[in-house]
Amino acid sequence: MAATVGVVSTHPRDMPADHAALPVWNAENWFYEDFEVGQRIRSLRRTISEGESHLFNTLVCDIHPYVQDEMFAASEGVFGRRLVAGAFVFSAGLGLVATNCVNAFSYGYDKLRFIKPVFIGDTIYTLRTNLSKAPKYPTMGLIRASYEVFKGEGELVLYCEHLQTVRYRDGAPAQGDAA
């Protein structure tokens, strides 16, 4: 991503001006032209605890015995222990590389695959790779990025591709692009 990252604006207006003028952490103002195909980033790692796994399951009403019932998972489950819900692995894994780019809007996800199980206590991290970009609308282009979530020392557990519409810098397709 090009070096155009900086202060998005001096908002909100309901705080001291010197505070509002400071850059907001993890808030980018990248435009379509700033996304470089092939660029990769890696997240920090995080260990998924029993409490946060249980809280996620409670919030989304996922009470499947593979994720909520230790006795079932140990005695009758295929993996011999409780799983972390795939939806939580997806959410946490993508959250690890999420940015707050004010010019980008999620368009959807393709090719979502849960490749290997993730268990309570596993540590995950994510790689994001910009795969492609193309003009889409008169004021926004389409970016496709892959997300690969790994556990432990590099075991791939989840893959998906994220589509985002991203504003053009000057409100029109970049030179040579056609919408």
Q: Which residue has the higher pLDDT, 27 or 117?
A: 117
The structure tokens listed for 125 are 């991290």
**29 is a domain residue:** no
pLDDT at site 173: 82
Q: Which residue has the higher pLDDT, 125 or 20?
A: 125
Categorize the per-residue pLDDT at 41 as very low, low, confident or very high, splitting at 50, 70 and 90: very high
If we measure between CA atoms, which residue out of 160, 75, 70, 159 comes closest to residue 121? 70
**175 is a domain residue:** no
| Omega before residue 117 within 30° of 0, cis | no
Q: Taking the CB of residue 136, how many other CB atoms lie within 10 A of it?
A: 17
CATH number at residue 128: 3.10.129.10
**147 is a domain residue:** yes
The whole domain housing 146 covers 39-98+107-167
**1 is a domain residue:** no
> In the beta sheet, which residues pair with residue 108?
163
Q: What is the mean pLDDT of residues 146-154?
A: 96
Q: What is the mean pLDDT of residues 148-165?
A: 97
What distance in Å separates the CA atoms of residue 166 and residue 22, rounded to the nearest whole number?
Answer: 24
pLDDT at site 1: 45
**58 is a domain residue:** yes
pLDDT at site 25: 65
**57 is a domain residue:** yes
Q: What is the mean pLDDT of residues 100-123?
A: 96
pLDDT at site 16: 83
Q: What is the mean pLDDT of residues 118-132?
A: 97
Percent of the chain residues topping a pLDDT of 70: 89
Residue 46, CB-side half-sphere exposure with 13 Å CA sphere? 18
If we measure between CA atoms, which residue out of 171, 59, 160 comes closest to residue 106? 160
Q: What is the mean pLDDT of residues 137-145?
A: 96
Q: Which residue has the higher pLDDT, 20 or 176?
A: 20
Digit-coded pLDDT (tens) for 55-95: 999 999 999 999 999 999 999 999 999 999 999 999 999 99
**23 is a domain residue:** no
**12 is a domain residue:** no
The structure tokens listed for 137 are 């609308």
Q: Number of folded domains in the chain?
A: 1
Burial of 48 (0-12, 13-18, 19+ CB in 10 A): buried
- The reported pTM is 0.85
- 3 state SS of 18: helix
Task: State yes or no: pLDDT of 8 exceeds 80.
Answer: no
What distance in Å separates the CA atoms of residue 144 and residue 163, rounded to the nearest whole number?
Answer: 5
